[in-house]
Amino acid sequence: MGLRGSGKSTLGRAIAQREGRRFVDLDEVSASFLSSDSVAEAWSRFGEPAFRAAEAQALAAALLDDGTVIALGGGTPTAPGVAELIEHAKNKRRCVVAYLRCEPAELRSRLMGLDEAAMTNRPSLTGGHPLDEIESVFAARDPLYRKLASREIEGVRSIDEALDRFAGWRGW
C-alpha cells in the first residue's frame, strides 16, 4: 500500500514474478467490478462511495486466494471496513502489509514524469489536480498506512533495491 506514485503496482508485479505468485492490481479489479475500463471511468460514472465499496469487495475476494501479491489502490485502506479487514487478515497471519512510503517531494517528482493520459486515470480526491493534493493526501493517509503496515519500505528508487528490501518478507 502507499500513495499514488509510490510504486505499488510496479513492485507488486516484480515480487509476484520473482516469487512465482499471482498478482492482483486492486485498482484494475475494482474498476472491473463496476464494469469500467479504468479507475477514472468508474469514479466518474458511479462516484467515490461506489468505487470504495468495489475496492472493499475486490480486496475481500483477493485475500481468499493464498499467496497472492496485491497492490492496493492508494485509497483502499480508507474505504469503509477495509482497515478492519486488513487488520483481521494480518492478525490471522493471512497477509503481510508493506507500506511503500515516499515523502511528498518524491511522489511529486514521480508523478510529474507521467504523461497526461496516465494522470487522467488518477481521479482527484480534492477537486484539484492530482499534483496539487499530494501533501494533504499524504498528511491524511500516512498515519493510517503506518498503523496498518507490517513493515514500512521508505523511498525506494529502483526495482532491484525494493526487491532486496522485500527479501525477508515471510518473517515480517
pLDDT-derived band at 110, boundaries 50, 70, 90: confident
Report CA-CA distances (Å) from 38 to 111, 118, 122, 163. Answer: 18, 11, 9, 28
Distance between CA atoms of 134 and 150, rounded to whole angstroms? Answer: 24
Give residue-wise pLDDT tens across range 5-41.
888 998 899 989 988 999 999 999 999 999 999 888 9
The rounded distance, in Å, linking the Cα atoms of 134 and 59 is 24
Higher pLDDT, residue 127 or 79: 79
| Tens-place pLDDT, residues 121-137 | 666 566 666 777 889 99
Answer whether residue 155 shows pLDDT above 90.
Answer: no
Q: How many residues does the chain have?
A: 172
Q: Which residues pair with 152 in a beta bridge?
A: 99
Cα angle value 9/13/136 (rounded, 5°): 15
H/E element holding 166? Answer: none
For residue 139, give the C-alpha cell.
Answer: 498528511
Mean pLDDT estimate for the chain:
87
CATH H-level, domain 8-159: superfamily: P-loop containing nucleotide triphosphate hydrolases (3.40.50.300)
What is d(CA 90, CA 139) in angstroms, rounded to the nearest whole number? 24
What per-residue string of b and e applies to 75-99 under the rule 16 or more CB within 10 Å gives b? bbbbbeebbebbeebbeeeebebbb
